Amino acid sequence: MPRLTAKPEPIEVNLAHSAVIVVDMQNAFVSKGGTLDIAGIDLGDAPRVARTIGTVLEAGRAAGVPIIYLQMAYKADLSDTGGPRSPNCRKEAALHLMDQKPEWKGKLLIEGSWDSALVDELAAKPGDLVITKTRYSGFVGTTLDSQLRTRGIQFLFFTGIAANVCVESTLRHAFFLDYWPILVSDCTMAAGGPEVLAATIFNVESFFGWTVTSDELRAHLAAREA
């Protein structure tokens, strides 16, 4: 198995049993006019993150590594949000904004909306898997775990936005389910700023997995393709 130069220490990874997870690369979290932009989050690094993820996805597809998209979206009637008894309705950004500002009702992270759509430059390709979720963790209320186990996947390379919210939530959940989580450190950004991203990277490297750069991952994917 290839030995990746990762942090906090190198890790052997079986690319035949790996997948790239793309978390919430949607207009809501990447584009001006989307949910995070409306919420006042600085999206200045989002275009670079999207471009870097694109290079990893291209290398992954060429090497035959499955690409799995997680896409946050609610039904138009909001019946899958958890309702008033769920903290999800109070803390999730889109739901909070729609509750506070009537002009946004029915527009943020609703299935079929511009806000919920994957950004054009990272559109899913034939053979990719897209899983819709309604909570920060991609494992909650979805088929993600069964889809991974059916494919014999053990190692998960995480990319996407936001590092400290849905990416870290899903990565932690993967660790609890005995997957091997690896965060591609330059393929993510935080909702908050550099110090927030640093905290997520610290958590991953210290307690929940490993980090690796996109250059390191692409080099091993290219070797597998060859």
Q: What are the domain boundaries of the chain?
A: 3-225
Residue range 146-173, pLDDT digits in tens: 999 999 999 999 999 999 999 999 999 9
- Phi and psi (nearest 5°) for 80? -110, 20
Active-site residue set: 24, 133, 166
Helix (H) or strand (E) holding 201: helix 194-203
Sheet of 129-133, strand order: 129-133, 67-72, 18-23, 155-161, 180-189, 210-212
Mean pLDDT of the chain: 96
CA angle 71, 146, 49 (to 5 degrees): 30
Residue range 48-106, pLDDT digits in tens: 999 999 999 999 999 999 999 999 999 999 999 999 999 999 999 999 999 998 899 99
pLDDT at 22 over 70: yes
Any idea which residue has 């008894």 for tokens? Answer: 85
Domain at 3-225: CATH code: 3.40.50.850
CA distances from 114 to 60, 110, 120, 152 (A): 27, 9, 11, 34
pTM: 0.97
